[in-house]
Structure 1
Amino acid sequence: MGLPNPEDEEEALGLPPAARGLLAHLRARRSIRRYRPDPLPEALVRACLEAARWAPSAHNRQPWRFAVVRDPERKARLARAMGERLAADRRADGVPEEEIAAEVGRSVARITGAPVVLVICLSMAEMDRYPDPRRQAAERAMAIQSVAMAGQNLLLMAHALGLGACWMCAPLFCPETVREVLGLPADWEPQGLVTLGVPAGMPPPRSRRPLHAFTRWL
């Protein structure tokens, strides 16, 4: 049984042309992990960041911070340092050395093979402060959600520009390493790493679970 025809689904929903175009754009986006070596014009990177900064955010505090890494040596140092931390964690898990080497190799290749690496960080500096842990945890969750929405805006703009991008969660496992290698301010908490470049190929079509599998109408 083949994948459903997106055009048939859009027609069934009765969407106007603009909405159908947006839905088609969302469906066409892919996580791209291999890039051509072409350098990216700064204007394209700025366009992605401009889209990110217009994401919704809690209290409109805009808690996102962006580090743009283009220098090959800086990218290599970041990849090596993150790889060393990954290897140490996996050894503690009892993973065989050959598997660790393969995991580290994939991670290093993804980072160093991208013309641009964007490190997306969270800052709580301008968020509200509460005396109790319950509300403070909720405030932090709101900030994390805000940063994630900025990241989604960035990915969608990259796709609109014909670029490839992929969100990597690896900085969550080694935030101190990322902050130290890049010399980031103390309040910048790395949340994700987005590789960016001209795609070296497109992955195959993807599928999604049907809407009814995770939706309740009340």
Structure 2
Amino acid sequence: MLQGVLFDMDGLMFDTERVGRDGWHKAAEILHIDLPEGIIAAMRGTGTDRCREIFNAAIPGSLYDTAHDLRLRYADEVIAANGVPVKPGLRELLRRLKASDIPAVLATSTRREKALAYLQQTDVERYFTAAVFGPEVARPKPAPDIFLAAAAAIHADPAHCVVLEDSPNGLQAAKAAGCPAIVVPDLTPAPAESEHLWNYRAKDLREVQQILLKEREKL
């Protein structure tokens, strides 16, 4: 029986990964460095310390913190000008979960202040029973900590909490936590089915709603 739905945020709820990717490109332009797409993809969905390791191992000069600040400045300016871009079907999915008494829990690598600001700006904060933020758990995705903490926040069995994710790092974390997962690909293609990192694949959050309604007794 489905006991809860654990939501990633960037790239899953909000179309912010594209803004972040463009921010990395802007930072690379300003710093006159080559930042391959593969490095940007490897940093997607994990925590700041792990991103720093990945970036500085690939790019000379220990420039991660400078580049990250430039990326954040770019993203903040774009979102201030245009608002937080909401993924199609998010509000409908959250309303359906609320009406069905299925708790929704935010489980994001983003820091608390920024994540809560996004929820408030898009008027979806009221739909979440609890929230867990990456900097507040011991290990970032792909470790299972954030999803274990999210399940614990609603006193649920992780095996009966469905994770919604777009990134391989997040899917690895879900698998390590023992949670079934629905992948909704964003910038990074879904891992091959043979990797056994997801139970269902959906093209968008509207399809996620259909999957949950159909499969909730099995989850």
Bigger radius of gyration, 1 or 2? 1
User: TM bucket by the smaller chain?
Assistant: under 0.3
TM-score (norm 2): 0.25
Greater RCO (Cα-Cα under 8 Å, separation 6 or more): 1
TM-score (norm 1): 0.25
